[in-house]
Each structure stands twice: as C-alpha cells, then as structure tokens.
Amino acid sequence: MPKEFVSAQEVAEKAGVSRSAVSRAFTPGASVSAETRRRILAAAEELGYHVNHLARGLMRNETGIVCLVVSEVATPYRSVLLRALTQQLQSAGKVAMLINTDRTDGSVDRALQQAIRYRADASIIMSGMPDKSIVQLCLRSGQRLVLINRDDDQPGPLRINLDDEECGARIATAFVRAGCKRLAFANSEAGTPSLMGRERGFQMAAKRLGLDVVVKRYGQTGYEAGRVLAQRLLTLPDRPDAVFCATDLIACGFMDAARHQFRIAIPDELCVAGFDDIEQAAWSSYELTTFSQPVTEIAEKAIKWLMEDAPEGEMSTGVRLHADLVWRGTVRGA
C-alpha cells in the first residue's frame, strides 16, 4: 500500500544506464541509440514506470495542464462544449483540469488562482468574468487565457464570440416572413453579453421591420425560466404570436407551458425559436428551430491558439464565429 511510484533512477539501474539516458529515452527527438532506447523502454515497461509530469513540468516550465473554468457543467450546451474541449485537448497532448465555479463573488478568480498553483499552461473560461488584476497576473506569468462567449475588451486573452446580434436579426426576419406580428423575446436575468446581444439584435431588426418587441426577463437560462416566461408572455392582453427564446432550455420550458397549459398550437398559433441547438431541440416533442453553437469550431480555435508558438497575431484580439440557423418545425414556412 505505501509503495511509491517508480522513478527514472530505478529504471536506469535495471537497464544498466544513467538516469539521463532514461530521461532522453522518453524525450521525443533526444539523442539515444536505438538499442539503448529499447533496453530502457523494456525496463520501464516491466517496472511500470511512467514519467512524472509534475517534475517534468518543473524543469520545462510547461505542465501540459489546461484549466477549464465553468459553472453549470450539467447543462446540455455546457457539457457538449466541455466534451469538445477535453477531447481536442487530449488529442493535442494536453490534459484538462476542471474547475467548477458558482455565481458567488470571486469564484472565477479563485479558479484562476488554482490554475496558477498548478502552473497550468493555459485557462479556458466558459463562465463568469475574472477580475482584471488576476487576468493580468495570469498573463504576466506566461499563462494563456481564452474567454468563450464572454465579451470583454481587455487585450491579452483570446476572445471567442458568436454573431449573436446577427442571429437575433435573422430570426426576426424569419418571424416576419412567417406572418407574425406580435414579437416577443424570452430572456434570462443573467444579462451576459451573448444573451443581451441576441436580445438587442432581435429588437433592432424588428424595429427596422416596423414591429415592436415585448421583452421579458426571468431567472436563469433553464427550463424553469422558460415556463415562468411563458406564464408572463402568454397571459398578455395582446398575446405574442412569435417568441425568440434566449436559449433552447428556455424554449423547451416555454413550449411545454404553451402547449400543455395554454393549449396553444405550435407553430400554427405561435412560432418559437431557441439558441444553442442542444440535443433535446431535435427530439420529436420539440423539433425546435434554433441556432447551433459551433462547439467543435470553438474548441478548435481555442486549442489551436493556445498551442501556437507566437499567438501575437491579430487573432488574439478576438474571433467571432457564425451560428447556423437550424430549421425545424417551430417556425412556419421554412
């Protein structure tokens, strides 16, 4: 039980070489003869030796650790993004350290401190916003930072965002083309830049098309919020005939309330659209028209950037990706 891990020293002795030889045998591109290398690997295999990445990180100033900072991992969209990131991280030879944050103050800051303690090569932030000072500290320490869907203007980190405003505009046009007159936007109170961007784009496009939008905001971005928002929007004297929901989860809650509680037919009496394209959006109980988050592309951009030698290109200022509109059954006249 209290037996320790086997070290390079033991392998060296068993293979009858020096420990530097062992080190070289496990370093790609190092200068070792084929025969020595073979003997060392055999000894290592037999002893169950595995390079200590902590010690290696100490020497190389590169740990291979990438911190993933995220709240609400259990949410469909978040977990899909998490999967894409960890998978691509692994393919790139890195390893993911997962840090859960909550809505409390300083939660993200504490996560980044953890990243620093483990000397992570980079951190990818999917929730919340870190304090400027800690961002500066990370940057000074040579750690790379990626912010996903958190609009921010301080230079240094790579910022990956979507064309949220444009999406809002596109779905507004689609609603109008479907003959809808009374537009509504069902948002959460979270007020993150992406959510507000969708709201803004939707509202402005509607105004351009000569329509007003009634906006309600409630709770978080989940199913329950959708139910409550349905309650508030569908009891209005001038009931909306088209609703753009800030997330798919909100849309699901909204649709369930609309159908089962208000007996409203979708899309005949009410058009609905969401955002994220979570798995449930494709389920036949919903068949939700929605915008798809380009998760794979997001993960690619993030990891490519943090693997680069000199990330000081113009890319580091931020990239804006396109979210495709996925036509399903909740908006008339595809």
Point out which residues bind its own copies (CB under 8 A).
Answer: 1-6, 48, 50-55, 57-58, 61, 63, 65, 68, 72-76, 78-80, 82-83, 86-87, 90, 95-100, 113-114, 116-119, 137, 139-142, 223, 252-253, 256-257, 259-261, 279-280, 283-286, 312
Figure out which of the listed residues 56, 110, 239, 304 binds DNA, where binding follows CB under 7 A. Answer: 56
Q: Which of 42, 58, 315, 334 binds DNA (CB under 7 A)?
A: 58
Minimal distance, residue 86 CB to its own copies, in Å: 5
Count of helices and strands (H, E) across the chain? 12, 12
E strand or H helix at 306, and its extent? helix 295-307
Nearest-angstrom CA–CA distance, 169 and 320: 16
Q: Would you say 249 and 76 are in contact if contact means Cβ atoms under 8 Å apart?
A: yes
206 phi, psi to nearest 5 deg: -60, -45
Q: How far apart are the C-alpha atoms of 299 and 78, rounded to whole Å? A: 12
Q: Could you tell me which stretch among 50-58, 74-82, 123-131, 186-194 binds DNA (CB under 7 A)?
A: 50-58
**Complete DSSP assignment for 17-77:** S-HHHHHHHTSTT----HHHHHHHHHHHHHHT----HHHHHHHHT---EEEEEES-TTSHH
For residues 220 and 75, what is the distance between their CA atoms, to the nearest angstrom? Answer: 12
Minimum Å gap between C-beta 56 and its own copies is 9
Residue 232: exposed, middle, or buried by beta-carbon count in 10 A (0-12, 13-18, 19+)? middle
- Could you tell me the smallest distance in angstroms from the CB atom of residue 280 to its own copies? 6
Provide the terminal-to-terminal Cα distance of the chain, rounded to the nearest Å: 65
Number of residues that bind DNA (CB under 7 A): 30
Interface with DNA, residue 18, by CB under 7 A: yes
- Cβ atoms of 6 and 48 within 8 Å: the answer is yes
DSSP single-letter state for residue 331? S
Single out the residue of 2, 35, 140, 235 in contact with DNA (rule: CB under 7 A). Answer: 35
Partner in contact with 137, chosen from its own copies, DNA, none, beta carbon below 5 to 8 Å by kind:
its own copies
CB of 191 to its own copies, least distance (A): 23
| Of positions 1, 2, 3, 33, contacts DNA by CB under 7 A | 33
**Binding flag, residue 232, DNA (CB under 7 A):** no
- Which of 42, 55, 236, 334 is in the footprint of DNA by CB under 7 A? 55
- What is the spatial distance between Cα 52 and Cα 32, in angstroms, rounded to a whole number? 20
Q: Binds 27, which of DNA, its own copies, none (CB < 5 to 8 A, cut-off by type)?
A: DNA
- Interface with DNA includes 17 (CB under 7 A)? yes
Q: Which is nearer to DNA, 8 or 184 (CB)?
A: 8
> Interface with DNA by CB under 7 A: which range of 16-24, 175-183, 282-290, 306-314?
16-24
309 near DNA, judged by CB under 7 A: no
Nearer to its own copies by Cβ, of 204 and 307: the residue is: 307
Q: Which DSSP symbol is given to 322?
A: P
Which regions of 71-182 does DSSP assign to beta strands (E)? Answer: 95-100, 122-125, 144-148, 158-162
Q: Shortest approach of its own copies to residue 206 CB, angstroms?
A: 29
Q: Which residues bind DNA (CB under 7 A)?
A: 4-5, 7-9, 17-24, 26-27, 30-33, 35-37, 49, 51-52, 55-56, 58-60
